[in-house]
Amino acid sequence: MLDFFFGHYAYWFSIILFSIGMYGMLFKKTLIKKIIGLSILQSSVILFFVSVASKVDATVPVYDYNIPVENVANYMNPLPHTLMLTAIVVGVATLGVAFTLLIAIYNRYQTLDEQELIERIHD
């Protein structure tokens, strides 16, 4: 049981981060806080993928002459690292788009609160 718990510890941390992000998205009233929650949720997914790629006693995926490449267990899996590398930059760009939309909303309705925003849209 203890072995099971500590063997999966990276996944538990990812799930905690995911829950924090989802809590922010569901319960917070301000749109900026919702976007911060979205960003936390995204980083939890990124950490999950990077933790899946690891192997015990393996080195980073940079080729070294002293470590033979035929034994695959010597190097970590490079594919999740690549995917998450692009996902981080795209996440930053989409965060910029989200804040741009928030600025546009604020310029038009003068508020970012969820309830007030719905009332002002219906007026």
- Secondary structure letter of residue 111 according to DSSP: -
From the list 35, 38, 42, 75, which residue makes contact with other proteins (rule: CB under 8 A)?
A: 75
Partners of 113 in beta bridges:
30
Amino acid (one-letter) located at 110: Q
Single out the residue of 94, 93, 98, 122 nearest to residue 109, CA to CA.
Answer: 122
Total residues contacting other proteins by CB under 8 A comes to: 55
Scanning 29-37, 105-113, 115-123 for contacts with other proteins by CB under 8 A, the matching segment is 105-113
**Stretch of 29-37, 49-57, 111-119 lying at the interface with other proteins (CB under 8 A):** 49-57
Does residue 101 touch other proteins according to CB under 8 A?
Answer: yes
| Contacts with other proteins, 4-23, as mask; x by CB under 8 A | x--xxxxxx-xx--xx--xx
Least Cα distance to 52 among 18, 20, 83, 11 occurs for 11
111, with CB counted inside 10 A (0-12, 13-18, 19+), is middle
Q: In Å, how far from its chain's centre is CA 33?
A: 15
By the criterion CB under 8 A, which residues form the site for other proteins? 4, 7-12, 14-15, 18-19, 22-23, 26-27, 51-52, 54-58, 60-64, 69-70, 72-73, 75, 77-79, 81-82, 85-86, 88-90, 92-94, 96-97, 99-101, 103-104, 106-108
